[in-house]
Amino acid sequence: MKKQARISLTTTQIILLSFLLAILAGSCLLALPVSAADGQAVSYIDALFTATTATCVTGLVTLTTATAWSGFGQAVILVLIQVGGLGVITVMAWLMLLMHRKLGLRDNLLLQDAFNLGTLSGLATFVKKVVMGTFLVEGVGAALYMTVFVPRFGARGIWISVFNAVSACCNAGMDIIGDSSLYDYTTHPLILGVTGALIVVGGIGYIVWWDILRVLRDRQKRSWRHLTLHSKIALATTAILLVGGGAAILALEYNNPLTLQNMTLFEKIQAALFQSVTTRTAGFAALPQENLTTGSFFVSMLLMFIGGSPVGTAGGIKTVTIAVLAVSALATITGHRQATLFRRALSARAVQRAVAVTCMSFCILFLSTVLLAAATGASAPDVLYETVSATATVGLTRGLTPLLNTGGKLILIATMYFGRIGPISLAVALRVRRPHTDNIRDPIEEISVG
């Protein structure tokens, strides 16, 4: 009697499946009457959309989080945000470690793939540091929020502070303050400052966290030059994008009566910088996105598409990717054989991966834009802003999301999912296994490019 063939999944396929199962489990819980604020179960499509946007840490919502969901429903959403931000595999591994269970080879391979690391050593310690570090950052953020929200909302302010801290650190962009995001706090330094700091810390990537701490602990090597190349690229690109994006938005919105015109100079700088920060896949809105000038509209979309840094809670093609593409293009233009950053040559594999990530992300964006335009008939700017936001898991909207029909919601659900798992992971998961052919070389023939 023949044995039944076992279904063998790759680590990448398991990671993709784990996110899908988390979304489906969350949607079932949110579809229960107990999850709705009025006790009447919401439609399953809205429950699925909310579970997807929470698990994929996007922030686009068809129902207002503060008013549509009960305390139970909001708790489910918060858990989904935390699981989605850390990664399902990371949370499962952490729970295993809490129960004093050792991680097997399969578990370590999953973690290595989830964090895109080059080694299997020390992964258990790495998981503990990631989870506890995240909880610490969120705890500090919640405590600072409480100084504002508790006096205003009373005891409920504690829950609002915790929810917002987790959502900001995980770059989810969902809040339970009300139906207007952070519009009421556009000129509030502490709220915007804490939110912005949590977004940047969560989006900079766990690898950068530990690299900075490693350098700070060593008194002999406490300097910029002792950071790894990855950290230098992530930090430098983040700084350039935040400051450059903030300056561009400040200039473009300075005299816009619908956004910055009536603010003081300090308030204008603060609001412009926050817009630059939140477009980096966070999704909290301090300015009405539909009121931005055309210039700011395009700057914001560019910042959204780039996103945060690798191995963090942010989405987008990532800061390191855009830096690699930029220096590679510059090297080609100037006639250099190798692309270099901080006196280090970039590998051909890094350049190829950057090109692949960008091309795949653009394909997902283009397809979702065409489909959403066909499904909704909405204006081109609104559709494009929505799909860029979904692809990069940002969550900013020009008001289209709550008006979506069922077809539009399904399109954005798929877009958010593909955006969160990453274009390369999707391609690898769908790749058909072929015989090993690395040693076979086809003949090279020159072609005209450009």
Query: Is 1's pLDDT higher than 50?
Result: no
- Contact at 8 Å (CB) between 382 and 297? no
Residue 240, C-beta contacts closer than 8 angstroms, at least 6 positions apart: none
pLDDT of residue 139: 96
Q: Is 340 helix (H, G, I), strand (E, B) or coil?
A: strand
Of 288, 294, 87, 335, the residue nearest 184 (C-alpha): 288
Does the pTM of the predicted model rise above 0.95?
no
d(CA 223, CA 64): 46
Q: How far is CA 60 from CA 51, 57, 117, 391, in A?
A: 11, 9, 30, 11
How does residue 421 score in pLDDT terms, banded at 50, 70 and 90? Answer: confident
Asked if residue 432 has pLDDT above 60, the reply is no
User: Do the beta carbons of residue 404 and residue 376 sit within 8 Å?
Assistant: yes
Identify the top-confidence range among 68-77, 102-111, 427-436. Answer: 68-77
What CA–CA distances, in Å, run from 177 to 158, 164, 182, 184, 272? 12, 9, 8, 10, 22
Secondary structure element (H or E) that encloses residue 344, with its range: strand 344-345
402 to each of 61, 64, 65, 308, 316, how far by Cα in Å? 7, 9, 12, 26, 23
Question: What φ, ψ does residue 342 adopt, rounded to 5°?
Answer: 50, 45
pLDDT of the residue at 5: 45
Asked if the model's pLDDT at residue 232 lies above 60, the reply is yes
% of the chain beyond a pLDDT of 90: 62
Distance CA 366, CA 301 (A): 14
Q: Return all residues near 296 (Cβ < 8 A) that are at least 6 apart.
A: 248, 249, 252, 253, 275
Query: Is pLDDT at 117 greater than 90 in this prediction?
Result: no
% helix / strand / coil in the chain, to the nearest 5?
Answer: 65, 0, 35
The backbone torsions φ and ψ at residue 270, rounded to the nearest 5 degrees and listed phi first, read -60, -45
Residue with more model confidence, 108 or 219: 219
Query: Which two tokens mark 97?
Result: 């470690």
Structural contact between residues 175 and 164, judged by C-beta atoms closer than 8 angstroms: yes
Mean pLDDT of the chain: 88
Mean pLDDT of 418-445: 63
Q: State both tokens at 247.
A: 């300056």
Residue 433 has pLDDT above 60, yes or no: no
pLDDT over 60 at 214, yes or no = yes
State yes or no: pLDDT of 36 exceeds 50.
Answer: yes
